[in-house]
């Protein structure tokens, strides 16, 4: 169960980012500023937010090629960023790479990060709402049981 979180993110604070990709494990890590200790919260299949004191400090995408790039929508969203990262690092998505840069040096990747963070925050809120709704429904169902089915006090 995901506890009620309200992740914070300062859009104006996005000055630098690091995009790392591990081809063997098909794992992308996107860090805001630099890697730092953080909690990892799953928001969807293969999609994780990294939080430090409820501030979003990055995200992980497990299955970048398998999940995200196999989707027409996400492939279109990722293409400008992957082209930019290839130009920046000289490496393709079939290789391990790390790109460090400012938001101005990596504008497409910065835009991708903002898009993905917004979508991840919405998914997290939807998941929290669903869990809250499920919990309420379970409580209501428990209260609807006949008196003889309820535990005696």
* pTM of the predicted structure, to 2 decimals: 0.78
Question: Residue 22: helix, strand or coil by DSSP?
Answer: strand
Contact status, residue 28 vs residue 17, Cβ threshold 8 Å: no
In angstroms, the CA 91 to CA 102 distance is 19
The two structure tokens encoding residue 23: 């081809």
pLDDT at 117 over 70: yes
DSSP designation for 151: P
The two structure tokens encoding residue 66: 């398998």
Residue 1 confidence (pLDDT): 47
Most confident of the ranges 94-103, 113-122, 125-134, 139-148: 94-103
Within 10 angstroms of residue 30's Cβ, the number of other Cβ atoms is 23
What are the domain boundaries of the chain? 15-146
Picking from 115, 104, 124, the residue whose alpha carbon sits closest to that of residue 51 is 124
- Beta-strand pair 55-62/39-44: unpaired
pLDDT band for 60, please (50, 70, 90 cuts).
very high
- Token pair 């960023």 is found at 81
């Amino acid at each position: 169960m995901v506890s009620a979180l309200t992740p914070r993110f300062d859009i104006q604070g996005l000055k630098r980012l690091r995009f790392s990709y591990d081809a063997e494990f098909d794992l992308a890590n996107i860090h805001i500023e630099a890697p730092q200790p953080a909690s990892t919260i799953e928001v969807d299949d293969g999609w994780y937010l990294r939080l430090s004191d409820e501030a979003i400090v990055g995200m992980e995408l497990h299955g970048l090629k398998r999940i995200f790039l196999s989707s027409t929508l996400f492939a279109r969203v990722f293409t400008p960023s992957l082209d930019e990262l290839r130009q920046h690092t000289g490496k393709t998505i079939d290789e391990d790479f790390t790109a460090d840069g400012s938001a101005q040096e990596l504008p497409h990747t910065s835009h991708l990060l903002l898009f993905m963070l917004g979508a991840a925050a919405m998914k997290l809120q939807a998941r929290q709402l669903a869990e809250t709704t499920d919990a309420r429904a379970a409580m209501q169902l428990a209260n609807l049981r006949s008196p003889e089915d309820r535990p005696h006090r």
